[in-house]
Amino acid sequence: MAVEARNIIPRMGYGTWGRLGDEGVEAMLAALGVGYRHLDTAQGYGTEPMVGEALRRSGLSRHEVFVTTKIDPDNYRPGKLAPSLRRSLDQLGVDMVDLTLLHWPSPRGELPLAVYLDQLVAAHQAGLTRLIGVSNFTIALLDEAERRLGPGRIATNQIELNPLFKNDKVAAECRRRGILVTCYLPIAHGSLAGNPRLEAIGARHGASVEQVALAWELAKGYAAIPTSSRRERIASNFAATRLHLPPDDIAAIDALADGPRGIAPDWGPAWDA
């Protein structure tokens, strides 16, 4: 499954967090209009109905748009995951999603991983999702998941990753296991502006620092899911797919010092240092 995932998951996706209501639908339509073919949503975002509406209004056929959703931890208890995913399908207006992720490990480890991972596998076997994956999983949790499932079952691990927080340990483990890394916060909540190294690289290529960050992530073999409500920024982010950084620029970004993690709830897992 992991090899298949590398081939079929579009490397540039449009993140739908915060893209609510009619404005959210219009932003998604703008993304699809400039070339995005991957919409990333989640039960916890409240944007599944907007994604469904954008799919219907886009004029694109279902197989042209890759759709990812994520199971909210509130739906991890026995017997809850598959019904929640069926509700997601109803809101999205599709018979199957392309990828379903566990959005977080069970908060504070309240539920054993087997309780909700096995339900995700059952949902896959029932034909509710084409691929399965995880999000915010540490190396220890990847170990536990692979012990239970065997290698090659986890398509991706969606983790916080950008030039100012490279999450190297987890990313390296994912690469070793053949698990695609999908970067959330790939442009670091807009905090890249003013970084001298990124600004200099961007100036050499006539690119924004956000485009440089996204091009670096794609060059590393990762997928990225930036978001914006602004049409010009949506188009600018997608244009990063046409920016090819030379090895020296990639190495210079690799050498940037890491700042703090941007999203670290107190109920989250024991992060890898």
Three-class DSSP labels, the chain: CHHHHHHHCCCECEECCCCCHHHHHHHHHHHHHHCCCEEECCHHHCCHHHHHHHHHHHCCCHHHCEEEEEECHHHCCCCCHHHHHHHHHHHHCCCCEEEEEECCCCHHHCCCHHHHHHHHHHHHHCCCEEEEEEECCCHHHHHHHHHHHCCCCCCEEEEECECCECCHHHHHHHHHHCCEEEEECCCHHHCCCCCHHHHHHHHHHCCCHHHHHHHHHHHCCCEECCCCCCHHHHHHHHHHHHCCCCHHHHHHHHCCCCCCCCCCCCCCCCCCC
Of 14, 45, 76, 116, which is the active-site residue? 45
Per-residue pLDDT of the chain (273 residues; tens, 9 = 90+): 555 656 799 999 999 999 999 999 999 999 999 999 999 999 999 999 999 999 999 999 999 999 999 999 999 999 999 999 999 999 999 999 999 999 999 999 999 999 999 999 999 999 999 999 999 999 999 999 999 999 999 999 999 999 999 999 999 999 999 999 999 999 999 899 999 999 999 999 999 999 999 999 999 999 999 999 999 999 999 999 999 999 999 999 999 999 999 999 999 999 997
Q: Tens digit of pLDDT for each residue in 77-108?
A: 999 999 999 999 999 999 999 999 999 999 99
Whether 41 maps to a domain, the answer reads yes
Residue with tokens 């024991």: 270
Whether 8 maps to a domain, the answer reads yes
What's the CA gap between 267 and 47, in Å, rounded? Answer: 24
Rg (CA), the chain: 18
Domain that holds residue 97: 2-191+218-230
What's the CA gap between 164 and 29, in Å, rounded? Answer: 30
What's the CA gap between 12 and 66, in Å, rounded? Answer: 11
Cα 138 to chain center, whole Å?
15
What's the CA gap between 48 and 34, in Å, rounded? Answer: 21
What's the CA gap between 52 and 13, in Å, rounded? Answer: 16
Whether 249 maps to a domain, the answer reads no
Instruction: Please list, in sequence order, all residues whose beta carbon lies within 8 angstroms of the beta carbon of residue 236, skipping any fewer than 6 positions away.
Output: 208, 210, 211
Whether 255 maps to a domain, the answer reads no
φ, ψ for residue 98, nearest 5 deg: -80, -30
Whether 24 maps to a domain, the answer reads yes
What's the CA gap between 71 and 100, in Å, rounded? Answer: 7
User: Can 45 be counted among the known catalytic residues?
Assistant: yes
pTM of this structure: 0.96
Neighbours of 7 (CB within 10 A): 7
Whether 143 maps to a domain, the answer reads yes
Whether 266 maps to a domain, the answer reads no
Whether 43 maps to a domain, the answer reads yes
CATH classification at residue 56: 3.20.20.100
Q: What's the structural domain count of the chain?
A: 1
φ, ψ for residue 69, nearest 5 deg: -130, 170
Q: Two tokens at 163?
A: 């030039």
Residue 98: name the closest of 73, 129, 72, 71 by CA: 129
Q: Tens digit of pLDDT for each residue in 167-196?
A: 999 999 999 999 999 999 999 998 999 999
Q: Two tokens at 76?
A: 């991890």
